[in-house]
Amino acid sequence: MDYKTIRIIREDGYAVVMLNRPHEMNALSREMKLELVDCFASLEKDESVRAVILTGGDYVFSAGMDLKEMAAVTDDDVDDYFNLIASYLQKIFAFRKPVIAAVGGIALGGGFNLATVCDLIVASESAIFGHPELKFGLNPLFNPVNRLVGTAKAKEIAMLGEPIGAMEALRIGLVNKVAPPDRYMEEAKSMAKELAGRPPKAIEAVKRISEVAPYLDKCSALEYEFEISALLFSRAERKEYMRQFLDDLKQKKKK
């Protein structure tokens, strides 16, 4: 369907979801949040889409929440306002397929949150991340950043609210790759193509394991992973993937 604040570009095996409020620096309006929920719900059901790239374009990922809307929220509307924020972030966080944030330019506040609920982040060298919320008496979303960089660094990011450049983000483990401004989308698309060629059930299993295993004790985590492995091993497609891999290996040896 057509959306007003986002665009969907379908590629072979994956989709690109582009935030599309350039004149508002992709500020996250109520309409955009609702469209993101609907868009990701639709893409999750679409079996032809095996990975998603979420981006805002070359100059800005998202400057954060729409401040005009935020200023107009009444005391009676506070619960609904934050429930909607939780809804679209949870939809992306729990998405069954891999989601890559391709960040060009700034990702601040709510835009930073949006990037950190994705599975992987590819950043342009011009990308800047930051959580300025505490300066305005609001709490940043702590958990997604904490999962990426650890508690000590996440506290620093949340409490000080200082901007983080792309190379520093790579150094602390906040992003997975950094590329020049004219190549970061190419890197993200290459990653999406690679993921789209992987067995979807195995990718989904890795996502599930990454969510559950860190919260289990060591032995329970191993048991959980082997339970998932046994389920994957019993699938008929596993034999086909292994046969194809061995055939490809034989062809390479002949060369």
69-78: pLDDT as tens digits: 988 999 999 9
Domain boundary, last residue among 196, 219, 244: 196
Residue 136's pLDDT is 80
| Cβ partners under 8 Å of residue 106, min gap 6 | 25, 60, 61, 62, 63, 127, 128, 129, 130
> Is there a domain that residue 96 lies in?
yes
Beta strands in 104-195, from DSSP E residues, in sequence order: 106-108, 120-124, 128-130, 164-165, 177-179
> Is there a domain that residue 1 lies in?
no
Total number of domains constituting the chain:
2
Residue 243's pLDDT is 63
Indicate whether 126 and 230 sit together in one domain: no
> Is there a domain that residue 32 lies in?
yes
Indicate whether 190 and 154 sit together in one domain: yes
Residue 241's pLDDT is 61
CATH of the domain at 126: 3.90.226.10
Residue 199's pLDDT is 86
> Is there a domain that residue 186 lies in?
yes
> Is there a domain that residue 103 lies in?
yes
Residue 48's pLDDT is 96
Indicate whether 63 and 129 sit together in one domain: yes
Indicate whether 69 and 188 sit together in one domain: yes
- The alpha-helical segments, DSSP class H, found in 165-217 are 166-171, 184-196, 200-212
Indicate whether 155 and 247 sit together in one domain: no
Indicate whether 56 and 155 sit together in one domain: yes
**Helices 30-45 and 78-93 meet at what angle, rounded to 10?**
30
Residue 25's pLDDT is 96
Indicate whether 155 and 250 sit together in one domain: no
Residue 127's pLDDT is 98
Burial of 65 (0-12, 13-18, 19+ CB in 10 A): buried
Residue 120's φ and ψ, nearest 5 degrees, are -135, 150
Helix (H) or strand (E) holding 236: helix 236-254
Q: How far apart are CA 44 and CA 230, in angstroms?
A: 25
Domain boundary, last residue among 196, 217, 237: 196
Q: Which domain holds residue 250?
A: 200-254
Task: Tokens for 244, please give them.
Answer: 């194809």
Residue 60's φ and ψ, nearest 5 degrees, are -155, 135
- Number of neighbouring beta carbons within 10 Å of residue 15: 23
Counting as low any pLDDT under 70, the low residues of the chain are 1, 235-250, 253-255
